[in-house]
Structure 1
Amino acid sequence: MIFLGRPHPAHAGYANAKLAMLAMLEAYEESYGLKWAYIVSGNLFGPRDKFDVEFGNVVPSLIRKFCDAKKSGGKVQVWGDGSAQRDFIYVKDAARASVGVMTDIDGAVNMGSGQVYRIRDVVDTLGELTGMSGRIEWDASKPNGQAYRAYDLSKIHDIGLRPVYSLHDGLKETWDWYCAQND
């Protein structure tokens, strides 16, 4: 669905760069017969991400907020009401899928977990993992972001690729890694 309308304003620069790259690959295929694969990914997360509360993606930003609040004894401030929905894919599943795409798929392909979670589900899971369920404050005056984002994963499923990690397991590994780096 990459060409269905303008990108969400929060991601316009990044999204337009991806569109330009896809157009270039299609032109190279037409002009030179180049074989290519192009992955359109769900929300990736995992160790070594950009854990920046201002400019990072959802999961690493939340992990940083939970860690900071745990250290300070404060509360975790979360924007929106948690209703926005995303397909989150753990980085180890994404790496396996990428290898499969490189060897078995030509053209554009979506990559994700195949599960759509509310931001609230991610926050609740992190609250459970960190023991901070009672220290979460939602700020519904702040934006939720794009309401819904999911992907047709039929191409990737056709070559037998399915995620191994649950959201819980991926969040736990990421949390444990981040805490080990920031003790």
Structure 2
Amino acid sequence: MASKEGMVVVVTGGSGLVGQAIQSVIKETNPPNEKWIFLSSKDADLKNAEETRALFQKLKPTHVIHLAAMVGGLYRNMKYNCDFLRFNLQINDNVLESCKEMKVKKVVSCLSTCIFPDKTTYPIDETMVHNGPPHHSNYGYSMAKRMIDVMNRVYHEQYGCNFTSVIPTNVYGPYDNFNLEDGHVLPGLINKVHESQKNGTTLCVWGSGKPRRQFIYSRDLAKLMIWALREYPEITPIILSVGEEEEVSIKEAADLVIEAFDFKGEVIYDTSKSDGQFKKTASNTKLRKYLPDFKFTPIRQGIKETVEWFVQNQDIARK
């Protein structure tokens, strides 16, 4: 268990979806003897080694949650696969090397279920990360994220660094990126339904609606990441996810968004658009071994709260 005396926790990517959720949980719990610093892209260009090193030397963190990444939805990933690989490799290398140099006691990095092999058996678990190539649609991003696991292992072997990682399933919640082309599926749907309702137009959902996903509410993920920083003892990654039985189709997710808005218009599915990976069902057996009683927010409630936030925060929502 991490000593909580005089912890200085730096969160990279602290202004994004997960960073904002962690901020909210920390504000509510106000843990003693902990100073939390949430960084945004304004603080430094983490693709630049000198800027990253200077920032870490100034802040002197004892612990780091590493969320910063170049991210995007399916269509942006397909268009910029090379950029996603290069920029994320640069960010991860600079952050972890700075943490090693500053003798940071523990780092928790955030991966993604897209790192798992495209051709695999289900449910996927933590032992299967490197068993084959990821899906071609986000190959660059997936390989850059996969390399964090490799880096954690070699930094531990060579330097004794306590670097680990978590693998959340599809995250959603307030402060998400609701952009229709760059955002992920749920925030994109929320923006689309809002626009269709406002303009009285047909709602067009991209793809068939058949692919299946496990969604985790950002507040739940925040609580689990704080737990991982304080308690999780392994270097190998841990999947943070609702159970397999909580998996829903994109159509079921769209229906919950439609219900939250009380949208009464016409809905069509554009099957000329790519579906991406059909499923990525993940096992949370390892998480349940550590936290058998953790309660996840039901997806209907999480979507309702996210929709309410989006409607009330049009001035700051990323669209």
Measured against the shorter chain, the TM-score band is over 0.9
1:101 aligns with 228
- Are 2:242 and 1:113 aligned? yes
Q: Which has the higher contact order (CA 8 A, sep 6+)?
A: 1
Moved more, 63-72 or 149-158: 149-158
Task: Return 5+ residue gaps in structure 2 as ranges.
Answer: 1-127
Q: Work out which of the residue numbers 279, 290, 303 in structure 2 matches 1:148.
A: 279
- Three-state SS of the structure 2 residue aligned to 1:38 is strand
| Structure 2 CA distance for partners of 1:68 and 1:142, relative to 1, 3 Å | same
**Alignment TM-score, normalising by the size of structure 2:** 0.55
Alpha carbons 2:155, 2:163 under 8 Å: kept? no
Within-5 A mapping of 1:42-61: 42-61=169-188
Alpha carbons 1:101, 1:156 under 8 Å: kept? no
Q: CA RMSD in A?
A: 1.5
Alpha carbons 1:124, 1:133 under 8 Å: kept? no
CA distance in 2: counterparts of 1:120 and 1:52, whole angstroms: 19
1:179 aligns with 311
2:151 aligns with 24
CA distance in 2: counterparts of 1:19 and 1:8, whole angstroms: 13
Alpha carbons 1:44, 1:88 under 8 Å: kept? yes
Deviation at 1:136, TM superposition (A): 1.4
Alpha carbons 2:201, 2:265 under 8 Å: kept? no
Q: How many residues align?
A: 183
Task: Return 5+ residue gaps in structure 1 as ranges.
Answer: none
- Three-state SS of the structure 1 residue aligned to 2:237 is strand
Letter matched to residue 60 of structure 1: P
Q: % of aligned pairs identical?
A: 30
Alpha carbons 1:113, 1:162 under 8 Å: kept? no
1:34 aligns with 161
Moved beyond 4 Å, runs of 4+: none
CA distance in 2: counterparts of 1:8 and 1:162, whole angstroms: 31
**Alignment TM-score, normalising by the size of structure 1:** 0.93
- Three-state SS of the structure 2 residue aligned to 1:151 is coil
Letter matched to residue 73 of structure 1: G
Alpha carbons 1:104, 1:159 under 8 Å: kept? no
